[in-house]
Amino acid sequence: IADEDSTVEGTEEDAGEDAGYSITDAFDVPGVEFTCSEFDVSTEYKTRNFVLSEVSGKQYLILAIDATNNSDSSIDFSDYSGRSYSLSINGGEKSSTQYTPLSNDLANYDGVLAAGETKSFILVFLFNNSSVEDISSLELFVTSDGTTRGTTI
């Protein structure tokens, strides 16, 4: 019976998703290396000019992501603007990014990363309080052109 259950679980997974990518391969921007240095959980997210207000029963999870252009030319991120990002905590339900108008929000960034330049970005997600109580794993999913690439952070 255990063998049958594992087979069923394997067939239920979306065949278009794979969590076995490195973070750089999941973002799939040629010449750019991505790293996630940390994450933070908070009831609200604020900067000097912007606030994501508290939502009852929920908390924000903010990923800090650095992007380094290791190529010899500038990379225009507007070429990658049609992407969506989602995050799963401990293998649970996925949450999509929360919109922010911030210039360092990777989900909306359409600027240029010069050759050799590193920029720090964020991705902001909203989860139920119970989801963020005991975080043992994070999986980030990047979707573009109908393909989803996942990475464990």
Tens digit of each residue's pLDDT (9 = 90 or more) over 114-139: 999 999 999 999 999 999 999 999 99
Q: Residue 61 has what pLDDT?
A: 96
Burial class (CB in 10 A: 0-12, 13-18, 19+), 7: exposed
Closest to 140 (Cα-Cα) out of 26, 6, 15: 26
Question: Hey, how many other C-beta atoms are within 10 angstroms of the C-beta on 83?
Answer: 16
Mean pLDDT, rounded, of the chain = 87
Model confidence, pTM: 0.83
The helix/strand/coil state of 139 is strand
- pLDDT for res 93: 87
Distance CA 138, CA 68 (A): 22
- Name the band, by pLDDT with cuts 50, 70 and 90, for residue 20: confident
